[in-house]
Structure 1
């Protein structure tokens, strides 16, 4: 079994409902077990525009390889109407693999750990909720959150 952390986000449509439905779809996958999810947070867009986001982080165990999981998550995004008209466009559903075991991958298709995980309060805060002792290459979650304190985020 591999352990993966998935960032979930939405800022188009009924975002909370979309994330709840997507979590149910993820939990229903036969290769995914022990799904845990943080609470939902509202955050201001970072490096993008549009309405505020609803964000969460999920921790799961899976028998899928990282690329298999990525492809399946992208299919799920498409089922929820995800469009990619330009980089960082508003989205109905965004599912990012943040961490996958201790895997380091820098391919054109997948970068692990996620390259901006340490710069995003909307990832760090729910990640800290799930795994408070987790330490990233850039530092502790608490220390990294301190560096992101100017980013607007609140618990829903």
Structure 2
């Protein structure tokens, strides 16, 4: 009798956000924890973006603002195993689930896992709201200019028409060191063999103007 076939290796896209506590330090630690998962190989880390808090009724300017980034990993496990793993990382960083879309020390959303389609009581893939969230689409485009959200289209095109309700924008290094530190030196880029970050400076000229992309 043979065992079950191993899960295929797929690219997972994860969106991270924090609006409570040491946002910069939390995101950096979370990226390291994701990279250390036994079935994950980190392949890219986006620049950090800032956004206003998004609640069920829309943007809440009275709530603390978010820092956001996106990472991609090669994942060789089952989808729910990745969900379980990132939920543990959230809990370890003080995530409390008392309010839908409430303020949180750490939020990690699984945006897609290859082209897998899934919809059960725990996990929907692709993420059902990713196509409308510029704070997910913009950093994702930075690390993969050809990215596609399965079933919805190219990330570049989705970002072009996405409502700017969250008004996501790149955090300038001159005003917030998180832009340079979270996605670069404070995470994994001084470690041999770790991937280089995706940054606006590395993109083709037609993508480099962040202000033109995020009015």
Aligned to 1:113: 126
Note if 1:31 corresponds to 2:39: yes
Mean Cα displacement is larger for which, 44-53 or 112-121?
A: 44-53
Conservation of the 8 A alpha-carbon contact between 2:147 and 2:156: no
- How much has 1:148 moved relative to structure 2? 2.3
Aligned to 1:18: 26
SS of 2:77 mapped into structure 1: coil
Structure having the higher strand fraction is: 1
Q: For the residues of structure 2 that align with 1:105 and 1:60, how far apart are their CA atoms?
A: 19
Aligned to 2:96: 83
User: How is 1:89-104 mapped onto 2 (pairs within 5 angstroms)?
Assistant: 89-104=102-117
SS of 2:54 mapped into structure 1: coil
Query: What's the C-alpha RMSD, in Å, of the aligned pairs?
Result: 1.3
Aligned to 2:162: 148
Q: For the residues of structure 1 that align with 2:136 and 2:164, how far apart are their CA atoms?
A: 14
Q: For the residues of structure 2 that align with 1:138 and 1:103, how far apart are their CA atoms?
A: 13
Q: For the residues of structure 2 that align with 1:60 and 1:72, how far apart are their CA atoms?
A: 13
SS of 1:70 mapped into structure 2: helix
- How much has 1:149 moved relative to structure 2? 4.8
Q: For the residues of structure 1 that align with 2:42 and 2:106, how far apart are their CA atoms?
A: 22
TM-score where L is the length of structure 2: 0.69
Change (3 A) 1:58 1:99: same
Q: For the residues of structure 2 that align with 1:34 and 1:142, how far apart are their CA atoms?
A: 22
Mean Cα displacement is larger for which, 121-130 or 46-55?
A: 46-55
Q: For the residues of structure 2 that align with 1:150 and 1:54, how far apart are their CA atoms?
A: 16
Change (3 A) 1:149 1:115: closer
**Which residues of structure 2 form unaligned runs of 5+?**
1-8, 172-215
Q: For the residues of structure 2 that align with 1:25 and 1:34, how far apart are their CA atoms?
A: 10
Paired residues, number: 156
Note if 1:129 corresponds to 2:109: no
Deviations 1:87-119 (A, max 9, x none): 000000001110001110010100000000100
Deviations 1:7-40 (A, max 9, x none): 1000001111100011011111221113311011
**Higher relative contact order structure (alpha carbons within 8 Å, sequence separation ≥ 6):** 1
Structure of larger gyration radius: 2
TM-score where L is the length of structure 1: 0.94
